[in-house]
Structure 1
Amino acid sequence: MRPLVHRPPGSLRTRLILGVTVLATAAVLASQLIGFAVLRSWLLDRVDQQLADFHPPTRAYTDALRDDLPDARPGAGTLPSDFRVYFYDSEGRRLNLSMGTGKRAGPRLPDSADGLRLREARPASVPAADGDSNWRVVRYSGPDGMSAVVALPLDTVEGALSRLGWLNLGLLAVTVLGLIALGRWVVRLGLLPLTRMERTAEDITAGDLGLRLTDTDARTEIGRLGRVLNTMLDRLQRALREGEASEARMRRFVADAGHELRTPLTAIQGYAELALRPEARSEHERRQANRLIVHNAERMSLLVDDLQLLATLDKEPSYRREPVDLLSLAADAVSAAALHGTTHPVDLGPLRTEADPTGTDELELVETVGDPHRLRQILENLLSNARTHTPPGTAVHIRVGTGRQGRTGASTALPEGAPVAVVEVADEGPGLRPHDAAHVFERFYRADPSRSRAHGGSGLGLAIAATIAEGHDGRLELDTAPGHGCVFRLVLPNLPAEWRTDGAADS
């Protein structure tokens, strides 16, 4: 058994031309066959009508018998046109006398009427006695049990049909050749947008990722395909850019983490080696070295804890779900800040609105749903950031209320018109430049180019706060300008009505 060989299909252009040609050829051939059949039926109907209009007279039957007598002189009657008439006697024998003349051979008729197989007055076609022509014959009953067969030749009909057949064959050949030639041009013109798409795709594959397909008319199939492909290319390019940005952030993250860990590790190693030297050290020097070792170990431990917390929040964040009074959280944060010292005075007030920019309204109860411990951590990080990046004596204001959203955020904005609860931490420090404000929520980012720890922590506090806010379906926003301080705004969904009705929900 021969193995099956898979042959690849031809090009789309070839298949379209072949399909159109086959369909058009079939349509032309079908119309020609229908026309041929209609014309043949019409011509046969005319011959049949002529046969139906001619009936041999009674005298013809009598003359046929008389001429058939042994003593009679045989002869033939003369008929107009090409009619031929043949007689059968009462016993079914064909008589010698026939009416009609002509050079062509007559129809092939049997010698016995039993072999005619013709029904009364029903025309039928029989072959000629000699040659390839045919006759149309009809049988009529005569007197005294006799019968007659009237015949007309079909030479005219067959000649006309033969000429028509050759004409149709020529027209079919011309039509097929014309369809192939015209179909190639039409298909090439119709597939021109696909050809342009192919060339554009080749250029994109070569590396020009900014190219897009130009045929995007939504009214055509190719245009809709072009729009879909352009959308796919945009998404792929955006995914590539995001992948490159993510890879760059990862490299920067690893470098920053290594930089942050190297500093305390180097300090610990240096002081440890110093403590192991055999030279005698004073008690004060040993205590100083031990204190620096503990300080750097604590610093490294805090950094590792922050990294572990970020990894946990990114992977599978787990938050409690219960009503949280943001006003109480803010008051606790103010109390805790007072315990850290008085270098940065912190006060609590209502949220300023456009209707009341001075903030003279009374404090209002503002509630949301979330994890109180994590939300308190956001406020602590924001306050720590304000103390770290502003000069001593700079005032810090915490404002609580319901209101607006800012300009720069760490995640996407909340739905338009949704009720929100807001906690602001505003300082009167030097503020940030627009470039720094756009990156302040990134991990390990510091506005200080020197990366000195004296001007900031590890650079993870705002990233942790933004991650927790996003996990509560909220966001962190920043309004700032050089010389005008910073306003960090925690925006959270307001407490839903069902929580107000039912009290608390299971965490």
Structure 2
Amino acid sequence: MTAPGLRTASLRRRLSLWVLGLLAVLLVVLGVTVDLVLGANLRSDLRERLVDRAEIAQTLVDQGRSDEEVVSAVTGDTVQARLETADGEEVGQIADPPAGPAGGPASRPGPAAPAPDPGAVVDTGDAYLLQTELSDGSRLTLVADQSPITDAVTQLRWVLLLGSAVTLALAALLVSATVGLGLRPLGRMTTLARSITSGDRGRRLRPDRPQTELGSTAAAFDDMLDELEGAERTARRAEAGMRDLLGDAAHELRTPLAAVQASVETVLRSDPPRDRREELLAGAVRELQRSARLVGDLLDVARFDSGDAPALQRRPTDLVDLARRSAGRVGGPVRVTGDPVGADVDPDRVAQVLDNLLRNAVRAAGPAGSVQVRVTGDGGWAQVDVTDDGPGVPADQRERVFDRLVRLDAARGRDGGAGLGLPIARALARAHGGEVSCEPSVRGAHFRVRLPVTPLTG
């Protein structure tokens, strides 16, 4: 079961819808807030107007003004007034008096429904009602109609609704254009990716502010391209190295196989004397051994490249004795010195390390040169130093010689192999927990092998 892929809905449409939705919510909140606040303020002003008119009426009564003057002074601005004198006369008139709290006329509450507290403003739904007793014993009734407030609030709601609709329509156009401008860097990234696909591998975004969201994305994109180019270069180098390896291997195998073929054909066709026949067959055996060594090196390189560590048969081994046997196999001007030093190693694999180092040293020293092998113990490590008086290794090449297929002298390399001995020697030493390094030297080359030691018994 495969994992779901990346959802690729239009980013511009999604961002536009989110912004418009958020704007719509804000407009609704704003409209509701304005409606509630404005309505509450208008109704509060209307109630305060009734209280102020009642205070004005009381002031006029205290000044001895007539009942008609009192009613005229407090009437107006949606406020109606009626004054009942102490002797029962009525001055002023209220059209359609609102129902009181008990449902009857506010001016004449029934016995089962007592009148509201004097001076208290009562909300009857359509109007505000205030009844108060004046100092001369008269009773003043004030009514303020709420319908103008209701109409104003209704008009405001329509204005807010239409304004919100127009705002959302304009915002839809502006947000789409603005989001398009904001997403323009993504378009650049898409164009760059397509140009790279077409072969322009060197282009990069190079954001000026990599700490931002798009900047970090662009920087990550550039890093990915750098890694891909690096991986491609590595793959190309590996491919080229493999071609070189196959070419060198074919060249190295062709020479000994041709020599073997020539020797065997000479023996079969001419039936030479016994001494000559043995010489030819011995040469054929040597060339076959050389071919077998090269094939073994190729197999070792293939195993190391695949990450397979070689199987080690460890046992305590005297490295001085191992070095002397390796010198005997290689031949040439090799001198081994040192006291017996034991190491817990696979003697066959360490012998392969020493054989590779000694063959290189003998080849570099030449017939008139010399090779020195010194075995010492250094704390918990055994150390084998192989030096020669050949041309040496330049300082900037001391690590490079351990790369596969590297040969500092191409002409000499044709006599000695395909440049696999040192990489194999280092890989085998590291498999033992040790190391092979190229050390500074005044004359010639100096290679050092370090391996963990173990006490010798017996």
Q: How does 1:364-403 map to 2 (within 5 A)?
A: 370-399=345-374
Asked if 1:204 is matched to 2:164, the reply is no
| Structure 2 equivalent of residue 471 of structure 1 | 431
**What are structure 2's unaligned runs of at least 5 residues?**
1-6, 58-70, 83-89, 107-112, 134-139
For 2:75, the equivalent position in structure 1 comes to: 80
SS at match of 2:365: coil
My pick for the range that moved more, 254-263 or 240-249, is 254-263
Measure, in 1, the Cα distance between the counterparts of 2:242 and 2:40: 87
CA distance in 2, matches of 1:153, 1:162: 16
Q: Equivalents in 1 of 2:178, 2:159: separation in Å?
A: 27
Task: Report the Cα distance in structure 1 between the residues aligned to 2:114 and 2:346, rounded to whole angstroms.
Answer: 105
1:290 to 281, 301, 311: 281
The alpha-carbon distance between structure 1 residues 36 and 392, as it changes in their structure 2 partners (threshold 3 A), is: same
Q: What SS class does the counterpart of residue 379 from structure 1 fall into?
A: helix
2:444 to 466, 476, 485: 485
> Cα RMSD over matched residues?
4.6
CA contact (8 A) 1:330 1:398 kept: no
Superposition map of 1:87-486 within 5 A: 100=93, 106=96, 113=103, 121=116, 123-124=122-123, 135-136=126-127, 138=129, 151-169=143-161, 171-173=163-165, 175-177=167-169, 179-180=171-172, 182-184=174-176, 186-215=178-207, 217-277=209-269, 281-314=272-305, 315-319=308-312, 329-330=319-320, 332-334=322-324, 337=327, 343-348=332-337, 370-399=345-374, 422-432=383-393, 440-443=401-404, 445-450=406-411, 455-457=415-417, 459-479=419-439, 484-486=443-445
SS of corresponding position for 1:318: coil
Query: 1:33/1:382 Cα in 2 relative to 1: closer, same or farther (>3 Å)?
Result: same
Q: Aligned to 2:402, what secondary structure does the other structure show?
A: coil
Query: Matches of 1:208 and 1:198 in 2, distance apart?
Result: 13
The residue identity in structure 2 corresponding to 1:35 is V
Q: Which moved more, 1:299-308 or 1:179-188?
A: 179-188
Query: Quick one: which amino acid aligns to residue 231 of structure 1?
Result: D
User: Does the residue aligned with 1:397 lie in a helix, a strand or coil?
Assistant: strand
Q: What secondary structure is seen at the aligned counterpart in 2 of 1:389?
A: helix
Deviations along 1:58-108, one digit per CA (max 9) or x if unpaired, are xxxxxxxxxxxxxxxxxxx9882345689xxxxxxxxxx996266xxx478
Q: Give the number of equivalent residue pairs.
A: 409
Following the alignment from structure 1 to structure 2, what is the Cα–Cα distance between the partners of residues 9 and 484?
A: 66
- For residues 210 and 136 of structure 1, the distance between their equivalents in structure 2, rounded to whole angstroms, comes to 80
2: CA distance, partners of 1:459 / 1:201 = 40
Asked if the contact 1:28/1:172 (under 8 Å) is kept, the reply is yes
**1:224 & 1:440 partners in 2: Cα distance?**
40
**In structure 2, what is the equivalent of residue 32 of structure 1?**
31
Mark the CA change 1:49 to 1:422 in structure 2 (over 3 Å): closer, same or farther.
Answer: same
Q: Does the C-alpha gap of structure 1 residues 83 and 267 become closer, same or farther in structure 2, counting only changes over 3 Å?
A: same
Change (3 A) 1:367 1:283: closer
- Which secondary structure state, in structure 2, belongs to the residue aligned with residue 215 of structure 1? coil
Structure 2 counterpart SS, 1:156: helix
SS of the residue corresponding to residue 231 of structure 2 reads helix
- CA spacing shift, 1:336–1:323, aligned 2, 3 Å: closer
The 3-state SS of whatever aligns with 2:24 is helix
**Alpha-carbon distance between aligned partners in 1 of 2:402 and 2:127, rounded to the nearest angstrom:** 103
Which residues of structure 1 form unaligned runs of 5+? 1-7, 58-76, 87-96, 127-134, 143-147, 350-362, 404-418
Q: Quick one: structure 1 residues 196 and 473, their matched pair in 2 at CA, closer, same or farther if it must change by over 3 Å?
A: farther
Deviations 1:327-359 (A, max 9, x none): x52464147536866x5252547xxxxxxxxxx
1:386 Cα deviation (Å)?
0.8
Cα separation, 2, equivalents of 1:377 and 1:398: 15
How many Å apart are 1:427 and its aligned residue?
A: 0.9
The Cα shift of 1:205 comes to 2.6
Find the counterpart in structure 2 of residue 66 from structure 1.
Answer: none
Q: Distance in 2 between matches of 1:160 and 1:432?
A: 98
CA-CA distance at 1:34 after TM superposition: 0.7
Q: Is the 8 A contact 2:241 2:405 kept in 1?
A: no
Letter in 2 for 1:472: H
Query: What SS does the aligned partner of 2:410 have?
Result: coil
Summarize deviations over 1:251-299 as a string: whole Å, max 9, x none.
222222222222333333344344444x664444443443333333333
Equivalent position SS for 2:230? helix
TM-score normalised per structure 1: 0.64
SS at match of 2:447: strand
Q: Give distance in 2, aligned partners of 1:280 and 1:491.
A: 52
Give the fraction of aligned pairs with identical amino acids, expressed as a percent: 31
CA contact (8 A) 1:368 1:421 kept: yes
In 2: Cα distance, 1:25 partner to 1:302 partner: 81
In structure 2, do the counterparts of structure 1 residues 441 and 29 end up closer, same or farther at CA, with 3 Å as the change threshold?
same
